[in-house]
Amino acid sequence: MLLSNWTKIFFRRGHEGMQEMYLIFGLGNPGNRYRLTRHNIGFMVLEKLAAGLEIDVKQKSFNALWGKGKLRGKNVLLALPQTYMNLSGRAVRELLTFFKADINNLIVIHDDLDLPFGTVRLKTGGGNAGHKGLESIVENLGSSDFVRVRIGIGKPADKARIESYVLERFEPQEEAELKPVIQSAADATSEIILSDIERAMVKYHTKNISNLKKEDS
């Protein structure tokens, strides 16, 4: 069910008198079965960000695991929806509502079939390219005007394999290259909060898997 017009306006404007908070969601599926699959790279990046900020993502409510902390003095909330991918919007809506957060301060980290493996791209709004998690978030918020951190996972030559492809583990060579990709996506997310998305784009859109590997060596 879409939110009422009043609630959508509330999301856009935020809540006066409360200190600004950024809500960051990594998308994926809960459970060990999915932990290392392509669809769960959003979880992996969120967990890397949480480790770097020393935030325990252990609170269990609002259909998510979440935790609060600081990023150089800025309030952040990190969350992992526990509803499975195609219902991710429930957790996003419930946490935004409870913390009276501004949708402009919402950042969603997710896998992207349309980008080559290892590519990190940032954008605000736009379409969902068939991503069920993003579709659920837009449906629950009644708006697509939030920031996305897109992480390329590539796509199979056979489009009929897409559903199984995203639920498979990365290839061994890709797994060997994941560490700098995850770090880059986590750093880009922090840069959005500390600077703005335009500056983060300039800094991180120039990177590809080749120079990420050089930086990590």
Catalytic residues: 39
Q: Rounded to an integer, what distance in angstroms lies between the CA atom of residue 66 and that of residue 103?
A: 18
The closest of 126, 127, 116, 131 to 181, measured between CA atoms, is: 116
Residue 37's identity, in one-letter code, is T
State the number of CA atoms in the 13 A half-sphere of 84 facing the CB. 3
Query: What DSSP assignment string belongs to the chain?
Result: -PPPHHHHHHHHH--TTSPPEEEEEE----SGGGTTBGGGHHHHHHHHHHHHHT----EEETTEEEEEEEETTEEEEEEEE-S-GGGHHHHHHHHHHHTT--GGGEEEEEEETTS-TT-EEEEES---TT-HHHHHHHHHHT---SEEEEEE----SSGGGHHHHHTSBPPHHHHHHHHHHHHHHHHHHHHHHHS-HHHHHHHHTT--HHHHHHHH-
